[in-house]
């Protein structure tokens, strides 16, 4: 899939769902951010499917724009990055060239998390190639105002992307996991190979060995699969359109940063990072629609 969809959806047209009350919209969003599928959300709330999708589109656009505007000038020290796989319409091997041109096939979500505040600093959708990596790193660098220690996995495209975005002003290391041979037993067909060790490689600066880790961002991958039905494996809840996939990701990350209290922090990541002074309610999240409509 040779395209990049950076989730800064400035070109989205807003169609505010005026036919729903704030209470009803809040119920719909509450279901979506907790990993409920579109059809199940319709059954639970009694809202028509096209209305749910319109609400997801509008609030996804508003969420992406709010993140792009507010998550800036961050003073962070440790950042971890990773990418997580999903697919739109069908897996890459099953789509035609015409379907690929419309966004079908494999799609990767790239994320950068602050290891201290657990804030999602930057995210992007695209393929797993160098073009996406460079755009992702450039966006992340534009949001950070301090020198950082960065850890990524061993994906080769990170090296040039990090150098291009940060130059030499970064402490950067790769953490490469070593896996054993995969099992041939049918029962373990869907299980990953066993990790038998890891090795680190310093690519720039002088990173602290104690903090060369991708544990937090990999845990975030699990949260994404739990919090977005579209990422759940072996179900029919996958995204059918790339645009809806992007809207769901944008909504999830704004909810994660501003509404969801982190158990170890006891506040939201946005509060810990100094971007908010209280825990957002879902009504406030939905209120972004009204704020955008008034500004239009």
Question: Per residue in 234-269, pLDDT tens?
Answer: 888 999 999 999 999 999 999 999 999 999 999 999
Range of weakest confidence among 5-14, 37-46, 173-182, 226-235: 5-14
Give the whole-angstrom CA distance, residue 64 versus residue 98.
28
Give me the residues paired with residue 88 across strands.
105, 239
Annotate 142-154 with b (16+ C-beta within 10 A) or e (fewer).
ebbeeebbbbbbe
Specify the pLDDT at position 193.
73
Give the confidence band of 184 by pLDDT, cuts at 50, 70, 90: low
CB of 174 within 8 A of CB of 158?
yes
pLDDT over 70 at 106, yes or no:
yes
Convert the pLDDT of each residue in 58-105 to its tens digit. 999 999 999 999 999 999 999 999 999 999 999 999 999 999 998 999
Number of compact structural domains in the chain = 1
Convert the pLDDT of each residue in 108-123 to its tens digit. 999 999 999 999 999 9
pLDDT over 70 at 190, yes or no:
no
Specify the pLDDT at position 20.
85
Give the confidence band of 291 by pLDDT, cuts at 50, 70, 90: confident
- What CATH number has the domain bearing residue 111? 3.30.420.10
Mean pLDDT to the nearest integer, 137-153:
97
Instruction: Please write down the HEC assignment for all residues of the chain.
Output: CCCEECCCCCCCCCCCCCCCCHHHHHHHHHHHHCCCCHHHHHHHHCCCHHHHHHHHHHHHHHHHHHHHHHCCCECCCEEEEEEEEEEECCCHHHCCHHHHHCCCEEEEEEEEEECCCCCEEEEEEECCCHHHHHHHHHHHHHCECCCCEEEECCCCHHHHHHHHHHCCCCEEEEEEEEECCCCCCHHHCCCCCCEEEEEEEEEECCCCHHHCCCHHHHHHHHHHHHHCHHHCCCCCCCECCHHHHHHHHHHHHHHHHHCCCCCCCCCCHHHHCCCCCCCCCHHHHHHHHHHHHHHC
Give the total residue count for the chain: 296
pLDDT over 60 at 154, yes or no:
yes
Specify the pLDDT at position 3.
40
Mean pLDDT to the nearest integer, 170-189:
75
pLDDT over 90 at 17, yes or no:
no
Tell me the residue range of the domain where 275 lies: 4-295
């Amino acid at each position: 899939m040779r395209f990049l969809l950076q989730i800064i959806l400035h070109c989205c047209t807003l169609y505010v769902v005026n036919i729903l009350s704030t209470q009803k919209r809040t119920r719909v969003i509450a279901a979506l951010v907790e990993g409920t599928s579109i059809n199940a959300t319709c059954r639970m709330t009694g809202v028509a499917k096209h209305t749910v999708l319109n609400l997801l589109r509008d609030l996804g656009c508003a969420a992406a724009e709010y993140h792009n505007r507010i998550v800036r000038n961050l003073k962070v020290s440790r950042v971890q990055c990773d990418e997580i796989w999903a697919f739109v319409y069908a897996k890459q091997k099953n789509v035609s060239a015409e379907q690929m041109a419309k966004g079908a096939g494999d799609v990767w979500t790239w994320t950068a998390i602050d290891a201290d505040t657990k804030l999602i600093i930057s995210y992007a959708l695209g393929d797993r190639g160098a073009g996406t990596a460079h755009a992702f790193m450039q966006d992340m660098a534009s949001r950070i105002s301090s020198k950082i220690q960065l850890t990524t996995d061993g994906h080769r495209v990170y090296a040039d992307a990090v150098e291009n975005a940060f130059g030499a002003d970064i402490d950067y290391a790769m953490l490469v996991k070593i896996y054993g041979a995969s099992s041939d037993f049918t029962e373990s067909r869907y299980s990953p190979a066993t990790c038998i060790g890891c090795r680190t490689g310093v690519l720039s600066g002088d990173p602290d060995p104690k903090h060369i880790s991708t544990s937090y961002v990999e845990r975030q991958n699990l949260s994404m699969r739990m919090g977005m039905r579209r990422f759940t494996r072996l179900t029919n809840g996958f995204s059918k359109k790339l645009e809806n996939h992007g809207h769901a990701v944008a909504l999830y990350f704004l909810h994660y940063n501003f509404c969801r209290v982190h158990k170890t922090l006891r506040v939201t990541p946005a509060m810990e990072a100094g971007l908010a002074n209280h825990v957002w309610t879902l009504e406030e999240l939905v209120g972004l629609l009204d704020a955008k409509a008034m500004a239009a």
